[in-house]
Structure 1
Amino acid sequence: MSKKQILLINDMAGYGKVATAAMLPILSYFGHPTYNLPTALVSNTLDYGKFNILDTTDYIQGVFPVWKALGFRFDAIATGFIVSERQASIVSRYCLEQAETGTTIFVDPIMGDEGKLYNGVTPATIKSMRAMLSVAHLCYPNYTEACYLTNCTYFPDGVSLDEAYSLLDHLRKIGAKSALITSIPVDGKPAVVGYNHMDDTYFRLGYDEIPVHFPGTGDIFSAILIGHLLDDKPLTVATQKAMDGVYELILRNKDNADKNRGIPLEQYLNIL
Structure 2
Amino acid sequence: MTKKIAVIHDLSGFGRCSLTAAISVISAMGVQPCPLPTAILTAQTGYPSYYCDDYTDKMDIFRREWEKLGARFDGIYTGFLAGEKQIGKVFGFLDTFYMEDTFLLVDPVMGDNGARFDIFSDEFQSRMKELVFRADIVTPNLTELCLLAGEDCRRAGADVSGDREKIIKEAASMARELISRGPEEVIVTGIRFTDEESGTACMGNLIVTEKNSVLSARPFVGESFSGTGDLFASAVAGGKARGDALEDTVKIAGEMIEKAMRSSVENKVPRNDGADYEQFLWMLTRRN
TM-score after normalising by structure 1: 0.90
1:209-248 superposed matches below 5 A: 209-248=220-259
Residue 202 (structure 1) aligns with: 213
1:118 offset after TM fit, Å? Answer: 2.6
User: Is it true that 1:184 corresponds to 2:196 in the alignment?
Assistant: no
User: Is it true that 1:258 corresponds to 2:257 in the alignment?
Assistant: no
1:32 offset after TM fit, Å? Answer: 1.0
Moved more, 164-173 or 251-260: 251-260
Residue 5 (structure 1) aligns with: 4
Rounded Cα–Cα distance in structure 2 between residues aligned with 1:257 and 1:185? 22
Aligned-pair RMSD on alpha carbons?
Answer: 2.0
Aligned equivalent of 1:175, options 154, 163, 182 = 182
1:64-213 superposed matches below 5 A: 64-154=63-153, 155=155, 156-158=158-160, 159-185=166-192, 190-196=203-209, 200-213=211-224
| SS of the residue 1:221 aligns to | helix
Given that 1:164 and 1:186 are in contact with CA atoms closer than 8 Å, whether structure 2 keeps it comes out as: no
| SS of the residue 1:100 aligns to | coil
| SS of the residue 1:37 aligns to | strand
Q: Amino acid of the residue matched to residue 150 of structure 2? A: N
Q: Could you say if the C-alpha distance between residues 177 and 99 of structure 1 is closer, same or farther in structure 2, counting changes exceeding 3 Å? A: farther
Q: Amino acid of the residue matched to residue 226 of structure 1? A: A
Rounded Cα–Cα distance in structure 1 between residues aligned with 2:95 and 2:129? 14
1:211 offset after TM fit, Å? Answer: 1.0
1:96 offset after TM fit, Å? Answer: 4.6
1:271 offset after TM fit, Å? Answer: 3.3
Partner deviation per Cα, 1:93-136 (whole Å, 9 max, x = no partner): 32254333421111100111111223412222212321221221
1:185 offset after TM fit, Å? Answer: 4.1
Q: Unaligned stretches of 5+ in structure 2?
A: 161-165, 196-201
Partner deviation per Cα, 1:56-105 (whole Å, 9 max, x = no partner): 11101222122222211111111001112121012023225433342111
1:187 offset after TM fit, Å? Answer: 8.2
Rounded Cα–Cα distance in structure 1 between residues aligned with 2:58 and 2:97? 19
Number of equivalences = 269
Rounded Cα–Cα distance in structure 1 between residues aligned with 2:275 and 2:107? 19
Q: Could you say if the C-alpha distance between residues 265 and 248 of structure 1 is closer, same or farther in structure 2, counting changes exceeding 3 Å? A: closer
Rounded Cα–Cα distance in structure 2 between residues aligned with 1:265 and 1:163? 31
Q: Could you say if the C-alpha distance between residues 231 and 70 of structure 1 is closer, same or farther in structure 2, counting changes exceeding 3 Å? A: closer
TM-score after normalising by structure 2: 0.86
| SS of the residue 1:46 aligns to | coil
Q: Amino acid of the residue matched to residue 207 of structure 2? A: G
Given that 2:256 and 2:280 are in contact with CA atoms closer than 8 Å, whether structure 1 keeps it comes out as: no
Rounded Cα–Cα distance in structure 2 between residues aligned with 1:239 and 1:270? 15
Q: Could you say if the C-alpha distance between residues 119 and 153 of structure 1 is closer, same or farther in structure 2, counting changes exceeding 3 Å? A: closer
Q: Could you say if the C-alpha distance between residues 141 and 252 of structure 1 is closer, same or farther in structure 2, counting changes exceeding 3 Å? A: same
Identity percentage over the alignment? 26
Q: Which runs of 4+ in 1 moved over 6 A?
A: none
Residue 55 (structure 1) aligns with: 54
Moved more, 89-98 or 219-228: 89-98
Rounded Cα–Cα distance in structure 2 between residues aligned with 1:62 and 1:99? 17
Given that 2:8 and 2:35 are in contact with CA atoms closer than 8 Å, whether structure 1 keeps it comes out as: yes
